[in-house]
């Protein structure tokens, strides 16, 4: 099974503060990567 | 997607949307679409790279299926907003993950119209966690 080190890859919330993906889900996540804004 | 939100919740799946746009570009986008999902910015595209989401070739971006999708969306009333500089070549994807980062389902878009249906996502999740059926008396030896 493919595993991604999501706890080592910081993102930004809408206020521009660093955050981790794991802070935004409990057990499972459907992560949708946008193509572009439309 | 909203209609299926309870189905995701029932399976303990939270929905997180990631964009490569800058956070300040996303605020008007969220306000316009009134999304009930968490939206995060990956401006440096580190997560996009970790998930192996690449740049598409020109012929893929403007493929007949992409044009067909946008024609359909325009007919439904989509109008393009100006969110500033965009990278139309960046591909997207849809992934089901657990907290350890194990990928339970992955779809890396072959072109902008290549997106899984909600039903197929739910089905993929259920298949991952389907309990093996107990053998019936007839199957027992």
Please give the residue of chain A at the shortest CA–CA distance from B109. Answer: A35
**ipTM for the complex?**
0.93
Phi first, then psi, for residue B87 (nearest 5°) are -110, 100
Domains and CATH numbers, chain B: 2-80+87-129 (3.40.30.10)
pLDDT given for residue B134 in this prediction? 58
Integer Cα distance of B91 and B114 in angstroms: 10
pLDDT band of B135, cuts 50, 70, 90 = low
Regarding pTM above 0.80, the answer is no
User: Residues 10..69 of B with a Cβ closer than 8 Å to A: which?
Assistant: 11-21, 23-27, 29-30, 37-43, 46-48, 50-51, 53
The pLDDT, as a whole number, for residue B69 is 72
User: Taking a C-beta distance cutoff of 8 angstroms, is the pair B97, B124 a contact?
Assistant: no
Query: Is the pLDDT reported for residue B110 higher than 90?
Result: no
Among residues B52, B62, B38, the alpha carbon closest in space to that of B111 is found at: B62
**What string of H, E and C letters represents the secondary structure of B47-83?**
HHHHCCCCECCHHHHCCHHHHHHHHHHHHCCCCCCCC
Looking at beta carbons, which residues of chain A come within 8 Å of B97?
A: 4, 6, 21, 25, 28-29, 31
User: Which residue range is the domain that position A20 belongs to?
Assistant: 1-38
Count of domains observed in chain A: 1
* pLDDT interval class at B140 (50, 70, 90): low
Q: Which residues of chain B are within 8 Å of residue A34 when distances are taken between CB atoms?
A: 17-21, 92
Average pLDDT over residues A17-29: 96
Whether the CB-CB separation of A24 and B16 falls below 8 Å is answered with yes
Residue B6, Cβ density class (10 Å: 0-12 exposed, 13-18 middle, ≥19 buried) = exposed
B118, with CB counted inside 10 A (0-12, 13-18, 19+), is: middle
Range 76-95 of B in CB contact (< 8 A) with A: 78, 80-81, 83, 86-88, 90-95
Q: Between chain A and chain B, how many beta carbons pairs sit less than 8 Å apart?
A: 153
- B61: closest CA of chain A, how far (Å): 10
Residue A24 to residue B14, Cβ atoms within 8 A:
yes
B7-50 pLDDT tens trace: 999 999 999 999 999 999 888 888 887 888 899 999 999 999 99
pLDDT in tens, B40-97: 999 999 999 999 998 877 777 777 777 777 777 778 776 666 555 677 788 899 999 9
């Amino acid at each position: 099974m493919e595993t991604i080190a999501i706890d080592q890859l910081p993102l930004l919330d809408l206020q521009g503060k660093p955050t981790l993906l794991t802070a935004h889900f409990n057990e499972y996540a459907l992560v949708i990567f946008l193509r572009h804004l439309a | 997607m909203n209609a299926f939100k309870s189905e995701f919740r029932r399976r303990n799946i939270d929905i997180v949307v990631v964009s490569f746009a800058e956070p300040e570009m996303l605020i008007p986008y969220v306000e316009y679409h009134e999304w009930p999902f968490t939206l995060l910015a990956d401006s440096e595209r580190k997560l996009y790279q970790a998930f192996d989401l690449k740049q598409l070739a020109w012929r893929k971006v403007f493929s007949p299926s992409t044009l067909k999708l946008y024609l359909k969306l325009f007919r439904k009333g989509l109008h393009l907003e100006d969110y500033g500089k965009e990278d139309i070549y960046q591909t997207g994807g849809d992934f089901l993950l657990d907290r350890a980062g194990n990928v339970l389902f992955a779809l890396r878009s072959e072109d902008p119209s290549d997106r899984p249906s909600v039903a197929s996502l739910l089905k993929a999740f259920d298949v991952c966690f389907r309990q093996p059926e107990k053998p019936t008396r007839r199957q027992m030896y």
